[in-house]
Amino acid sequence: MSSVVVYGDVSPNVIDGSSIWLMSVSEVLSGVFDEVHIQLKNHPQNRTLLSAIDGIANIYVHAPEGIADDAALGTTAAAELVEKLIGHTRATAVVVRGFQAVYDFSLNEKISPMLWSYVTDLPFPPKKLSDTNVQRLKHIAEHSRRILAQTEAARSYWEALIPQAAGKVLLIPPMIPDYAFNAVENPQIREQDNLKL
């Protein structure tokens, strides 16, 4: 049985592009892996976001352990919880989003051989990248199985600045599911669309 663990350094209580990505990528992975295990950063205060994956039988959501209901996991603590999850689930892949999270996960020797890193918060233009962050990106590239990039420009960014990333970067375009749109009927827009037909 194949399984994957997914962690996004995002709150499940806020609906934004990052949290929607967490649900979308988990849904996609549920069609590839037998089990998808989502490790949450915060305790869910409502089901607004998580309702998107209700009914997908092979997605399992794990609330954070060892923190108060109104607290958030730090990235190192999240890596430790994911390491435990790997032990229980025998996961063969770990998908992580967020620069600091990816860096801290890449420091974990048990996680890094199966780490798929997704860093969307890269400084732009590249000259804004500090020497410290260059070294962190090098470490991420060296200690990740794969690196995910949203666009060709992001892939070029990685491969131009961080030679260690060459051959590891895969394109994963932004995924916006239907439920992310609250379709509000606007008669004026609908009428304009009909005129164009």
pLDDT tens-digit map of 119-147? 988 877 778 889 999 999 999 999 999 99
Structure tokens at 134: 């260059």
| pLDDT given at position 178 | 54
Contact between 22 and 10 (Cβ < 8 Å):
yes
Structure tokens at 150: 């949203």
What does the pLDDT look like over 12-64, one tens digit per residue?
999 998 999 999 999 999 999 999 999 999 999 999 999 999 999 999 999 99
Among 55-64, 100-109, 118-127, 187-196, whose mean pLDDT is lowest? Answer: 187-196
- Angle of CA points 190, 194, 197, to nearest 5°: 145
- Whole-number Å distance between alpha carbons of 85 and 29: 17
Q: How far is CA 101 from CA 122, 176, 179, 194, in A?
A: 13, 23, 27, 47
Helices first, then strands: H and E counts in the chain: 6, 7
Q: Is the per-residue pLDDT at 83 higher than 50?
A: yes
Within 11-114, strands assigned E span: 35-39, 59-62, 93-97
| pLDDT given at position 177 | 54
- Helix-strand-coil split of the chain, %, nearest 5: 45, 15, 40
Average the pLDDT over 83-89 and give the result: 96
| pLDDT given at position 129 | 87
Q: What is the pTM (predicted TM-score) of this model?
A: 0.86
Count CB-CB contacts under 10 A for residue 161. Answer: 15
